[in-house]
Every structure is written in C-alpha cells, then in structure tokens.
Amino acid sequence: MKRVRIYSFRFVLILLLFSSIARAQSSASLRGWVLDPTGLPVGGAKISLENLATSEKRNTISDEIGSYQFPQVAPGIYRITAERNGFKSVTHNNVRLLVNSPLRLDLSFMEVGAID
C-alpha cells in the first residue's frame, strides 16, 4: 500500500511538471511602451487586451515609465486598447500573437482629448 502511494505521488508530480512545460510552450506575450504625441512615456494608462475569438479580456496599467506587458497569453488574434485621462483612446485591431514569438507593440496617443 505504501508503494502504491509513492508511485501515485511520483506520477502526479510528473504530470504537473509536463503540464506546466506544455503550457509554457503554447503561450505568447505582448509588451511595449505607451507614448504621448511627442514620444514621451505615459504612465497610468489602462491597457485592455481582448481575444477576438473568445472575447476573453485582460487588463493592465502602464507603469511610471510607460511600460506595459501581458505575459503568458494564449496565441490568437487580439484587440488592444489604451486609455488615459487627457488623451483620446488608441486601438489596434487584429494583433496576431504567435506561440513563442514575443511581440512588442508601442501604443502612441496621437491626439490630446478631453480631461474627465
């Protein structure tokens, strides 16, 4: 009985190891900078990433130097939107994220908008 438990435990550990490796190999990532019309970084921008096939959404906020990232994203075609008070939002449609191919996409606010 004790041997069965040990073998079962080892089997479960091996399954967990292989499942995490398989998941890591089938993911994509997206990162970039959020910039104002003059090319300066914009911190505090809300970034939304929406999978166009599944409607799954993920959100993040650009850091104080304007950097953002979405690690371990399912491969697919996405819409990415950046919003920040004082600027008109910017959207990129049909952003293709591929397996093991990190994508860098800088988001530039082209126009100053109304301040809420």
pLDDT band at 110 (very low <50, low <70, confident <90, very high): confident
Judging by beta carbons within 10 Å of its beta carbon (0-12, 13-18, 19+), is residue 45 exposed, middle or buried? buried
Residue ranges of domains in the chain: 28-108
- Please give the C-alpha separations between residue 66 and each of 3, 45, 48, 88, 93, in angstroms, as whole numbers: 55, 8, 15, 16, 21
The two structure tokens encoding residue 50: 């929406």
pTM over 0.85? The answer is: no
CATH of 28-108, one of 3.40.190.170, 3.30.360.10, 2.60.40.1120, 1.10.150.20: 2.60.40.1120
pLDDT digits (tens, 9 = 90+) for 57-73: 999 999 999 999 999 99
The SS3 of residue 1 is: coil
If one compares 28 and 15, the residue with the highest pLDDT of the two is 28
pLDDT digits (tens, 9 = 90+) for 29-56: 999 999 999 999 999 999 999 999 999 9
Question: What pLDDT does residue 47 have?
Answer: 98
> Which letter, b or e, does each residue of 47-66 get, where b requires 16 or more Cβ atoms within 10 Å of its Cβ?
bbbbbeeeeeeeeeebeeeb
